[in-house]
Amino acid sequence: MSADELRLERLIAAPPEEVFRLWTTPELLVTWWGPDGVDIPEHALDVRPGGAWRTTMRQPDGARNTVSGRYLEIDPPRRLVFTWAWEDAAGRRGHETVVDVRFESAPGGTHLLLHQARFLDHESRDRHQHGWSSSFDCLARATAKREG
């Protein structure tokens, strides 16, 4: 049960630049964000490092779910990293994770790798230590607080 992280892969039939745009252009993102049948009545995406993002999804039965976070790294067209937490009805954010999406050029389009976990894996943490040490300081402080 190394199962507190999620890894998904997809081959998307468009070049990385196009796929990256679909993730980082708010008007395009809302055309696909979320499972089939939902629409996005509200969204606010400040797509820059440190910028906040928030989307509200509406299910076919009218039920709404909001998820929000902050962009940690935006490296077009290779990599997009952001934090992620569902909000409850009172707007309180639940468990926060980090979503790390990589866009690799592949024959036929883009090989998309999505990794979601409590932290980034060590390899990427080390490699990007300098660029966003402040984000990790925040994460480390949060962890220290939780662990007492």
Q: Tokens for 97? A: 């994770």
Contact 47, 71 (CB under 8 A): yes
**For another protein, the closer CB: 41 or 94:** 94
| Burial of residue 3 (number of CB atoms within 10 Å: 0-12, 13-18, 19+) | exposed
**For another protein, the closer CB: 20 or 71:** 20
Interface with another protein by CB under 8 A: which residues? 1-4, 6, 8, 10, 12-14, 18-19, 21-22, 28, 31-36, 86, 88, 94-97, 109-110, 112, 114, 116, 118-119, 143, 146-147
Provide, rounded to whole angstroms, the least separation between the CB of residue 91 and another protein: 13
Number of H helices, E strands in the chain: 4, 7
**For another protein, the closer CB: 14 or 44:** 14
